[in-house]
Amino acid sequence: MRIDIIHHEEDTIRVTIACKHSNAGIDRLKRHIEAWEERIKGKSEGQTVFVELSRVLYFETVDNRSFAYTSDQVVEIEQKLYELELLLEQQETFVRSSKSQIINMNKIIRLKPELNRTIQAVMCNGERLYISRRYAQGIKRRLGIIGG
């Protein structure tokens, strides 16, 4: 792979991917570049809003609708959770925590194991989320709590 940076007088950034054939890796690179601005579009109180990913505590699906939760805002977003996973796969901070949630690991302040082998995650705003057994080991590994 060769990377060229060309300075120009335009105010916008233009990215061109030149390849012989498109493949899954190229598609992943394209998605990563598209997510580069690190904002997600959604609706709140009837208005279109843009939320910085660094402010998002978690994403959740409720009644087939997806939401991004920040400390002070709930924004309905267009993407399904599996689409968000693809969009965020290059973001080391977001990880699936249950069938209906993706959580920002940078916003966790405390983890508490529960009797049923789930994990309670206390977020920076005091909200408590539950990490299901299915995803607990992966999150512990990503947080460096257990070896990989």
* pLDDT of residue 146 exceeding 80: no
Chain segment 104-145, per-residue pLDDT in tens: 998 999 999 998 889 999 999 999 999 999 999 888 888 777
Q: Which residue has the higher pLDDT, 48 or 90?
A: 48
Q: How far is residue 147's CA from residue 21's CA, in Å, rounded to a whole number?
A: 38
Q: Which residue has the higher pLDDT, 27 or 108?
A: 108
Q: How far is residue 23's CA from residue 100's CA, in Å, rounded to a whole number?
A: 29
C-alpha distances out from residue 8 to 33, 56, 120, Å:
19, 34, 50
Nearest to 66 by CA among 51, 44, 45, 81: 81
pLDDT for the residue 112: 93
Nearest to 101 by CA among 117, 118, 126, 125: 118
CA dihedral 28, 30, 34, 35 (to 10 degrees): 20
